[in-house]
Amino acid sequence: MTIHSRICVSIGRSSLDDALAAADSMASVADVLEIRLDCLTTPAVSPFMNALSTPLLFTNRPQWEGGNFNGDEEQRLAALLEAVREGAAYVDLELLAPDESHRQMVQALEKTESRLIISWHNFENTPTRQELVGRMAMMQDKGADIGKIITTAHSHQDVLRVLQLLEVAEELGFPLIAFCMGRPGVISRVATTDLGGYMTYCAVNSGEATAPGQLSVARLRDIYSLMNEQS
């Protein structure tokens, strides 16, 4: 049996031309391309939409959630709303974004094909199971089509706690992206989709990781290829 894993390659370059070139080079090996608008010196949506047929995910991550955007929230949201109007496959909005941002995004998504990923990242540790399940419930309440819970693992117990969320999500019928950052969490990035996770993320190459522990797409595909040989 061939294992299918939805792979999202994150594009985090500062130059628009460089980001477009990277996205184009990754289009054949990615199921989804994440365009990190917060990494671009001049954020833009339409050049990617016009140049690429691979499903696109637009993220404009603020500094308070580990990203690079440090401007006005209205300006930050405007880029994501533009992505919805342009017909992006996905947009990512943080769980802890202001209520008004969530209201505007849900309204904008009505009668569109775009899907909303509501995300939450913990760069320090992995909370209790109770808190993690609570975060997932909050995502559902805010209208997420897909949830994203990413924590930092310091042990294998942390990794197991996050991956066990996938069982809860399946029972709820809620698509969930869940894995861990950090060295102990690398295995979760590989395993998550086989355990029911909606998607995993990787980098263009080993030098362009946009999160701790992120593998390159070449390395991840090599691992999946080895796994398929054993199945």
Half-sphere exposure of 140 (CA within 13 A, CB side): 13
Report the Cα 88 to chain-centroid distance in Å: 14
Residue 79's H or E segment, with its range, is helix 73-86
Tell me if residue 148 is catalytic.
yes
Q: 95 φ, ψ to 5°?
A: -55, -35
- Exactly one of 4, 102, 142, 148 is catalytic; name it: 148
| CA distances for 228 relative to 9, 116, 197, 202, angstroms | 20, 31, 18, 19
**Residue in 121, 142, 154, 156 annotated catalytic:** 121
Q: Say if residues 10 and 201 touch (Cβ distance below 8 Å).
A: yes
Q: Return the bridge partners of 93, or none.
A: 118
b vs e for 154-182, b when ≥16 Cβ sit within 10 Å of the residue's Cβ? beeebbebbbebbebbeeeebbbbbbbbb
| Cβ–Cβ < 8 Å for 169, 196 | yes
Q: Say whether 154 is catalytic.
A: no
The catalytic residue positions are: 121, 148
